[in-house]
């Protein structure tokens, strides 16, 4: 068990960042105190939050009741004695080392001995802030991105004296507040700013050198990186002096390559304000501009990995989640070819007398491996982590292959347990529907079958082994994700977990074991309810009906997973034969007694039960063909051994996917419209 138990939060500094951080914590239902120098500043910060939340209500992001709840989770004070019982404090005061150190000295005095102290510094090392407290081991860097209530990325930074338990607790606290954490070493600029600041700086250098004019650089950058705002517009939004400060601070601690170019210094010092974006772009210069910006990005990205500050995966997640680039630097390197990327990076490195990092200096003919599924040994367990948070960890062929490789690595370690985890707000949100649609449009069923067969084979390796597997379901768990959890020996979920099998709503059926494993866990009637209705099942309900074995707060999630994973070989499950409680009785009876045909034809009465009425309504919107197919699989599977049932489910895929409802349902999902399913002949 982790000795740090984070339930309550405080944010010091009620400015732009601090107020946004507090807002996000409160939005996730957690209590937070906002602290500033005096009551007026606190009130200003609370005012910023109220305005943002009110805007959320106007734009119908929240209902007014939810907005009141969010605001109710936040209190403000300038009285530091209120911090005495807080579990995690996040500092977001001015970017001035002396100010920050004063704050940390004071926090060291007023906070309890097991409080975690986080700093949102952008340009100082965490250790330089931490060393002034009596307990530097509890100081962790938490670098948020603007706007912190909306941007999910946070860099979590340990330092040479930090306690691994404090790091893990801070990480779990970030997950609990709905963030997507990535890890960074305690190094200048951490991960994202280390390549983003030079990207901006290089744009100004190009301008200063007269390589192209401003509208051309702006347009070339947007095109090459697929972004909505170019470097100059971004500087205008965040404040041009901030870019100067950021570049100079990197330049000071790293190398003159990072220092602000003359044009940027001159622009700020002469008080020119925002850049003028007016003018026509000259497309003939796009390539030369793009090459420089790409070269800088590739050089720094590879350097970050070379120095061990970050990983290939986290560099890319940082770009996609934090900067909203459609592709991370390493994905771009693979796209244009490692050899060409190395040429571009070398051009930059040569100019500044820097070495080209090994990763791209010796490309060979291979792509850089990007692990969508990562393996690590942690706390005496094998941990496999889905690491594509911005794609909600959706399954595709590449993920399937990497999952299999990771499972094999886990087995070879001989460690006593295996945990399947994921980063971001989803555990695994189903399979890549685009892949299905593209193949069906080409009349190609074979790749779909291959995907399902490989997926089923991988899932079959997960349970009943000497090394028990536990799914650590921290968030959204849909379709193939719920089937993956079901394939594990144990399922542990956070309070934010939501399970669903929505396939019949897109014209297909669960094809990775869902029609066979679900009834064996929760009983045939409730399995029918979940599969026919696609209803979301909350964490609490999942535990009640037996879909999950336990629900644990984020701070206890890892320990709970470990306790299940260390139980030894799972003996197998027996399907329940009765409703779990009176709450579920009517649903249980309804689905035990009525067929799809009766439900669709309106001859199955709800008898006034609200849950049943809702189920009937939802079923009417699903694909009848898929419903009949699911019913047959569920009923026939109940009379078979699991393995035979899984084979049957795989065999049924062709009939399901080649029916018109499948293409219609999945296309409708991609086009964000209601599907028009065929009416069945039977009814
Ligand atoms: N703005 C960004 O995009 C961004 C992004 C990531 C990190 N950061 C970092 O976040 C921190 C805050 O940035 P900001 O943009 O919110 O600044 P800001 O100027 O908007 O807010 C700073 C707040 O801290 C308060 N403050 C100053 N000294 C204090 C003290 N001793 N005790 C309590 N409160 C004090 C100020 O009154 C002010 O309200 C900085 O370290 C910055 O580098 C900023």
* Res 683: pLDDT: 41
From the alpha carbon of 14, which atom of ligand 1 is closest? 39
Please answer whether residues 8 and 31 qualify as being in contact, where contact means their C-beta atoms are separated by less than 8 angstroms: yes
Q: Which residues are catalytic?
A: 122, 143, 155, 193
Residue 58's CB: how many other CB atoms inside 10 A? 9
- What pLDDT score does 129 carry? 97
Interval 411-418 mean pLDDT: 95
- pLDDT over 50 (residue 645): yes
Q: 100: CA distance to ligand 1 center in Å? A: 10
Q: Which pLDDT score, from 0 to 100, does residue 359 have?
A: 84
Cα gap 254→300, rounded to integer Å: 12
CA of 95 to the centre of ligand 1 (A): 6
Give the pLDDT confidence of 14-40 residue by residue, as tens digits. Answer: 999 999 999 999 999 999 999 999 999
pTM of the model: 0.93
Over 90: is that where the pLDDT of 547 sits?
yes
Q: Is the shortest distance between the CB of 502 and ligand 1 below 6 Å? A: no
pLDDT, one tens digit per residue, over 504-543 is: 999 999 999 999 999 999 999 999 999 999 999 999 999 9
Band of pLDDT at residue 365, cut at 50, 70 and 90 = low
Q: Looking up tokens 């609490």, which residue turns up?
A: 540
Query: Where do the structural domains in the chain lie, given as residue ranges?
Result: 9-184, 192-361, 373-671
Range 373-671: architecture per CATH: Alpha-Beta Complex (3.90)
Distance of alpha carbon 250 from alpha carbon 128, whole angstroms: 15
Check residue 571 and give its pLDDT: 84
Residue 571 CA to residue 538 CA, distance in Å, equals 26
User: For ligand 1, is residue 196 a contact (CB within 6 Å)?
Assistant: no
- Find the mean pLDDT for residues 484-493: 98
> Does residue 172 have a pLDDT over 60?
yes
- Correct CATH for 9-184 of 3.90.1300.10, 3.40.50.720, 3.30.300.130, 3.30.70.60: 3.40.50.720
Query: Could you give the CA distance from residue 404 to residue 402 in angstroms, rounded to a whole number?
Result: 5
596 falls in which pLDDT band (50, 70, 90)?
very high
Q: What secondary structure letter does DSSP report for 365?
A: T
Q: What whole-number distance in Å separates Cα of residue 377 and Cα of residue 453?
A: 28
Residue 428 is encoded by which pair of tokens? 């695994």
Q: Which of 170, 349, 336 is nearest to 258 (CA)?
A: 349
| Torsions phi, psi for 135 (to 5 deg) | -130, 65
Buried b or exposed e, range 175-207, using 16+ CB within 10 angstroms: bbbbbbbbbbbbbbbbbbbbbbbbbbbbbbbbb
What is the tens place of the pLDDT at every residue in 393-410?
Answer: 999 999 999 999 999 999
C-beta of 122 in contact with ligand 1 (< 6 A): yes
The Cα–Cα gap between 91 and 413 comes to 40
Q: For 249-307, how does the pLDDT look when each residue is reduced to its tens digit (9 = 90+)?
A: 999 999 999 999 999 999 999 999 999 999 999 999 999 999 999 999 999 999 999 99
Task: Please choose from 13, 97, 143 the residue to mutate so as to test ligand 1's pocket, defined by most ligand atoms within 8 A of CB.
Answer: 13
Q: Which atom of ligand 1 is nearest to the CA of 13?
A: 24
Helix (H, G, I), strand (E, B) or coil at 570: coil
Average pLDDT, the chain: 95
CA–CA distance, 57 with 584 (Å, rounded to integer): 34
Instruction: Identify the CA nearest to 295 among candidates 329, 322, 262, 261.
Output: 329
d(CA 49, CA 403): 42
CA-wise closest residue to 90 among 115, 63, 62:
115
Q: How far is the CA of 94 from the centre of ligand 1 (A)?
A: 4
CA angle 490, 495, 497 (to 5 degrees): 65
Residue nearest to atom 18 of ligand 1 (CA): 15
How buried is 382 (Cβ within 10 angstroms: 0-12 exposed, 13-18 middle, 19+ buried)? Answer: buried
- For the chain, the distance separating the N- and C-terminal CA atoms, rounded to the nearest angstrom, is 56
Residue 435 has pLDDT above 80, yes or no: yes
Q: How do residues 444-455 score in pLDDT, each as one tens digit?
A: 999 999 999 999
Residue 316 has φ and ψ, to the nearest 5°, of: -70, -40
Would you say 343 and 302 are in contact if contact means Cβ atoms under 8 Å apart? Answer: no
Q: For ligand 1, is residue 93 a contact (CB within 6 Å)? A: yes
d(CA 109, CA 115): 11
b/e map of 275-292 (b: 16 or more CB within 10 Å)?
beeeeebeeebbeebbbb
Looking at residue 361, its pLDDT comes to 83
Secondary structure letter of residue 467 according to DSSP = S
Which residue has 């060291």 as its token pair? 108
Task: Please choose, from the candidates 464, 463, 465, 483, the residue with its C-alpha nearest in 3D space to the C-alpha of residue 473.
Answer: 483
Cβ of 99 closer than 6 Å to ligand 1, yes or no, is yes
Provide mean pLDDT across the span 204-224: 97
Give Cα 205 to chain centroid, integer Å: 35
370 C-alpha to ligand 1 centroid (Å)? 35
Give me the count of residues in the chain.
683
Chain segment 117-145, per-residue pLDDT in tens: 999 999 999 999 999 998 999 999 999 99
Q: Distance between CA atoms of 418 and 395, rounded to whole angstroms?
A: 19
What pLDDT sits at residue 360? 84
Residue 593 has pLDDT above 60, yes or no: yes
Q: What is the CATH number of domain 192-361?
A: 1.10.1040.50
Helices 231-238, 192-208: axis angle to 10 degrees equals 110
| C-beta of 14 in contact with ligand 1 (< 6 A) | yes
Residue-level pLDDT at 568: 86
CA-based diameter of the chain, in Å? Answer: 81
Q: How far is the CA of 385 from the centre of ligand 1 (A)?
A: 34
- What is the spatial distance between Cα 615 and Cα 478, in angstroms, rounded to a whole number? 18
Give percent above pLDDT 70 in the chain. 99
Residue 181 three-state SS: strand
Percent of the chain at pLDDT exceeding 90: 94
Q: What is the pLDDT of residue 72?
A: 97
Q: Determine whether the shortest distance from the Cβ of 114 to ligand 1 is under 6 A.
A: no
Task: Give me the DSSP letters along 509-575.
Answer: ---SSHHHHHHHHH-HHHHHHHHHH---EEHHHHHHHTSSSEE--HHHHHHHHHHHHTS-S------
Which of 13-27, 141-155, 569-583 shows the lowest mean pLDDT across its residues? 569-583
Asked if the model's pLDDT at residue 681 lies above 80, the reply is: no
Residue nearest to atom 36 of ligand 1 (CA): 13
């Amino acid at each position: 068990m982790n000795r740090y138990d984070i339930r309550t939060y405080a944010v010091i500094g009620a400015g732009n960042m601090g107020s946004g951080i507090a807002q996000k914590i409160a939005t996730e239902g957690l209590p937070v105190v906002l602290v500033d120098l005096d009551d007026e500043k606190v009130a200003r910060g609370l005012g910023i939050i109220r305005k943002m939340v009110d805007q959320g209500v106007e734009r119908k992001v929240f209902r007014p009741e939810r907005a009141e709840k969010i605001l109710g989770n936040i209190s403000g004070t300038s009285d530091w004695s209120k911090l005495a019982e807080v579990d995690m404090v996040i500092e977001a005061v001015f970017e001035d080392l002396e100010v920050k150190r004063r704050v940390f000295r004071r926090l060291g005095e007023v906070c309890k001995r097991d409080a975690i102290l986080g700093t949102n510094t952008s340009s100082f090392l965490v250790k330089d802030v931490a060393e002034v407290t009596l307990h530097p081991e509890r100081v962790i860097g938490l670098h948020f991105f603007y706007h912190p209530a909306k941007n999910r990325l946070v860099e979590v930074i340990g330092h040479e004296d930090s306690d691994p338990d404090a790091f893990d607790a801070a990480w779990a606290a970030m997950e609990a507040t709905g963030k997507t954490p990535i890890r960074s070493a305690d190094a200048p600029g951490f991960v994202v700013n280390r390549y983003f600041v030079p990207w901006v700086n290089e744009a100004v250098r190009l301008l200063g050198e007269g390589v192209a004019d401003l509208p051309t650089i702006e347009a070339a950058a947007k095109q090459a990186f697929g972004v909505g705002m170019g470097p100059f517009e971004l500087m205008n939004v965040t404040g041009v002096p901030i870019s100067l400060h950021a570049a100079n601070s990197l330049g000071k601690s790293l190398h003159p390559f990072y220092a602000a170019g003359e044009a940027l210094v001159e622009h700020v010092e002469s008080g020119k304000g925002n850049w003028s974006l007016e003018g026509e772009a000259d497309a003939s210069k796009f390539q030369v501009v793009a090459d420089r910006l790409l070269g800088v990005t590739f050089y720094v990205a590879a350097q970050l990995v070379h120095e061990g500050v970050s990983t290939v995966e986290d560099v890319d997640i940082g770009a996609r989640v934090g900067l909203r680039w459609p592709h991370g630097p390493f994905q771009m390197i693979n796209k244009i070819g490692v050899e060409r990327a190395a040429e571009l990076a070398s051009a930059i490195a040569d100019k500044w007398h820097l070495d080209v990092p090994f990763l791209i200096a010796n490309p060979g003919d291979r792509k850089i491996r990007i692990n969508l599924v990562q393996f690590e040994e942690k706390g005496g367990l094998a941990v496999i982590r889905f690491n594509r948070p911005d794609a909600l960890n959706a399954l595709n062929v590449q993920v399937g292959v990497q999952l299999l490789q990771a499972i094999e690595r886990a087995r070879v370690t001989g460690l006593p347990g295996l945990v399947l985890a994921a980063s971001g707000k989803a555990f695994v949100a189903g399979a890549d529907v685009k892949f299905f649609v593209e193949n069906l449009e080409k009349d190609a069923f074979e790749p779909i079958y291959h995907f399902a067969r490989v997926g089923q084979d991988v899932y079959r390796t997960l349970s009943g082994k000497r090394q028990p597997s536990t799914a650590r379901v921290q968030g959204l768990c849909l379709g193939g994700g719920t089937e993956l959890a079901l394939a594990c020996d144990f399922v542990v979920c956070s309070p934010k977990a939501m399970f669903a099998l929505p396939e019949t709503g897109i014209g297909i059926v669960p094809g990775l074991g869902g029609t066979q494993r679900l009834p064996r866990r929760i009983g045939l009637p409730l399995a029918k309810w979940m599969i026919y209705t696609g209803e979301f099942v909350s964490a609490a309900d999942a535990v009640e009906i037996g879909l999950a074995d336990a629900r644990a707060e984020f701070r206890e999630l890892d320990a709970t997973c470990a306790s299940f994973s260390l139980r030894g070989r799972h003996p197998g499950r027996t399907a329940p034969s009765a409703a779990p409680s009176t709450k579920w009785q009517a649903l249980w009876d309804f689905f035990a007694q009525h067929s799809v045909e009766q439900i669709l034809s309106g001859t199955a009465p709800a008898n006034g039960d609200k849950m049943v009425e809702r189920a009937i309504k939802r079923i009417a919107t699903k694909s009848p063909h898929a419903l009949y197919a699911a019913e047959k699989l569920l009923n026939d599977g109940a009379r078979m051994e699991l393995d035979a049932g899984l084979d049957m489910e795989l065999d049924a895929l062709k009939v399901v996917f080649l029916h018109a409802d499948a293409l219609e349902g999945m296309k409708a999902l991609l086009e964000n419209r209601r599907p028009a399913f065929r009416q069945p002949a039977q009814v």
